[in-house]
Structure 1
Amino acid sequence: MITRSRQHGMGIVGILGVLAMLGFFAMCIIKMIPPYSEFISIRDIVVDIVKDPESVEKSSSEIRRKVDYTFNTNQIYELNWKEVEVYRKKGKHYIDARYEVRMPILWRIDAVLKFDDLLFEIGDPTPLTTPP
């Protein structure tokens, strides 16, 4: 009686499946890098405005103008400066720049990047967790 020894391991179909999954995730990461890097720029802009000692004394419209100017200078496209809310509540100014980006990935598959840690009180560079 002759017994054959079988090799165990991943076949060509399994390898192709793993490569397809890795390719899909790599494509997702590559498509998400530009919105995420723009979020980092937006966060830095808003934190700079919040930390500026002159911002405490400015009105809401002056802060909005500064946000508009800085967004245009840094070529921010994902978030329109008009969508950034600057308001006054209980004698303090707040900047709310929270937003989300929806991008198509493949056919009917979309990715949603939600940037919800962009709510600040003027003068305090730590983000607020809940609106005042």
Structure 2
Amino acid sequence: MKRNQGGMTLIGFIIVLAVAGVFIYTGMKVIPMYSEYYAVRQALEGLSKEPEIVNKSPAEIQDLFFRRLYISYAENVKPANVKIARKDAGYLMTVNYEVRKPLIANLDVVGKFNTEQELRRGAN
């Protein structure tokens, strides 16, 4: 009676390891992009809870926003990516930016992020 061994060959193991490595490497590039996006969201939500935010000028609001981002080490959002427009009795603040990270050779990971927050009186 002959017994057959079951299991993974060395070549199969190397292929699985390579595929897992590519996914892990891609995750290392993508996770910081989303972490920064959530820092932007938190900064916007924090601004909306700021007392008397509607009495500030757009330049002052933008300065407060970038101070919050500086604390979170978010460095991909530039002043050109931030738009502040009057809406009703407050402002509508829109942040639209793109993050591009090199992946392998000429392949890049690109993340496009767009979020907005209303800043108005009594928005707590």
TM-score normalized by the length of structure 2: 0.79
Unaligned ranges ≥5, structure 2: none
Q: Distance in 2 between matches of 1:102 and 1:121?
A: 28
Tell me if structure 1 keeps the 8 A contact 2:102–2:109. yes
Q: Which moved more, 1:64-73 or 1:92-101?
A: 64-73
Unaligned ranges ≥5, structure 1: 126-132
Per-residue displacement from partner, 1:62-102 (whole Å, max 9, x unpaired)?
21232234334544311113321111144541110132212
After the TM superposition, which parts of structure 1 deviate over 6 Å for at least 4 consecutive aligned residues?
A: none
Alignment: residue pair count: 122
Tell me if structure 2 keeps the 8 A contact 1:50–1:120. yes
Aligned to 2:62: 64
Query: Per residue, is there more strand in 1 or in 2?
Result: 2
Tell me if structure 1 keeps the 8 A contact 2:84–2:92. yes
For the structure 1 residues 86 and 11, does the alpha-carbon distance in structure 2 shift closer, same or farther, using more than 3 Å as the test?
same
Q: Which moved more, 1:64-73 or 1:43-52?
A: 64-73
Identity %, equivalent residues: 30
C-alpha RMSD over aligned residues: 2.3
Higher relative contact order (CA 8 A, sep 6+): 2
Aligned to 1:128: none
Deviation for aligned residue 1:113: 2.1
Q: Distance in 1 between matches of 2:41 and 2:87?
A: 22
Deviation for aligned residue 1:121: 0.9
